[in-house]
Amino acid sequence: AQSVTQPDIHITVSEGASLELRCNYSYGATPYLFWYVQSPGQGLQLLLKYFSGDTLVQGIKGFEAEFKRSQSSFNLRKPSVHWSDAAEYFCAVGAEGGSYIPTFGRGTSLIVHP
Amino acid sequence: NAGVTQTPKFRVLKTGQSMTLLCAQDMNHEYMYWYRQDPGMGLRLIHYSVGEGTTAKGEVPDGYNVSRLKKQNFLLGLESAAPSQTSVYFCASRPPGQLYNEQFFGPGTRLTVL
């Protein structure tokens, strides 16, 4: 069965610092991987996704993620964090077979200090 | 396009009362989902639907019922609310076809059961 692990429950960074949020997955075949962001009081919004091709994926708001098959990872990065990036971040892996039910990680809460 | 909308945004119930949460999407998506989000638990799937007139149980279906009478609407019902159902509820929709199609989320309904 597929699974997603986000090892960090909370991450605190200073504004302007770089950011890396970790995501590890377990999946039987070629994974389809997603990062979503949830701003306070809002629903989830897609940041980026990987399904084939270049393993470095660019997303919205200056985020990128790198798919590393050998490490079963899909870490999210941003070179310089802004205060508005404070949010909850969810990694998800696409469904196996035809169930169309993705599996979500438990989320990482990003706190940004001025 | 409004995307995915949820009604109501907030609700307070007493134990034993019933209510229905409405999710509507105007993107002609086949798949729709209901999740609940609790602190530290991430997103947990309650029920989902792969098309008009069809529904299926997710990870935590007990105490909830759903209906998908129209393609654009997915209703979540609580027949007899319990304090354990205090949560934030999110609806999502997704187009059919590729497993790398992302989900589109509504803004959420915050439910408190006293």
Q: A48-77: per-residue pLDDT in tens?
A: 999 888 899 999 999 999 999 999 999 999
3-class secondary structure per residue, chain B: CCCEEEECCEEEECCCCCEEEEEEECCCCCEEEEEEEECCCEEEEEEEEEECCEEEECCCCCCEEEECCCCCEEEEEECCCCHHHCEEEEEEEECCCCCCCCCEECCCEEEEEC
* Rounded CA separation A37/B77 (Å): 27
CA of A80 to nearest chain B CA: how many angstroms apart?
Answer: 26
The token pair at A8 is: 């960090």
| pLDDT at residue A13, as a whole number | 97
What is the b/e burial string over B38-77, where b = at least 16 CB atoms within 10 angstroms of the residue's CB?
eeeebbebbbbbbeeeebeebebbeebebebeebeebbbe
Q: What is the percent of chain A where pLDDT is above 90?
A: 76
**Chain B residues 26-45 within an 8 A CB cutoff of chain A:** 31, 33, 40-43, 45
Q: Are A74 and A61 in contact (CB under 8 A)?
A: no
- Is A9 part of the contact surface with chain B (CB cutoff 8 Å)? yes
Which residues, 6 or more positions from A40, have their beta carbon under 8 angstroms from its beta carbon?
A: A86, A87
B-chain residues near A43 (CB < 8 A):
4, 90, 105-108
The token pair at B58 is: 């997710």
**Chain A residues 32-91 within an 8 A CB cutoff of chain B:** 32, 34, 36, 41-46, 49, 51, 90
B-chain residues near A41 (CB < 8 A):
107-108
pLDDT score of A96 more than 80: no
> Who wins on pLDDT, A1 or A5?
A5
Q: Are A91 and A8 in contact (CB under 8 A)?
A: no
* Rounded CA separation B94/B27 (Å): 9
Residue position matching structure tokens 């999407």: B25
Kindly report which listed range (A7-16, A24-33, A105-114, B43-52) carries the lowest average pLDDT score: A24-33
| pLDDT at residue A15, as a whole number | 97
Q: Burial level of A7, CB count in 10 A (0-12/13-18/19+)? A: exposed
Give average pLDDT by consecutive 10-residue segment, chain B, 114 residues: 93 97 96 94 94 95 97 97 97 87 95 98
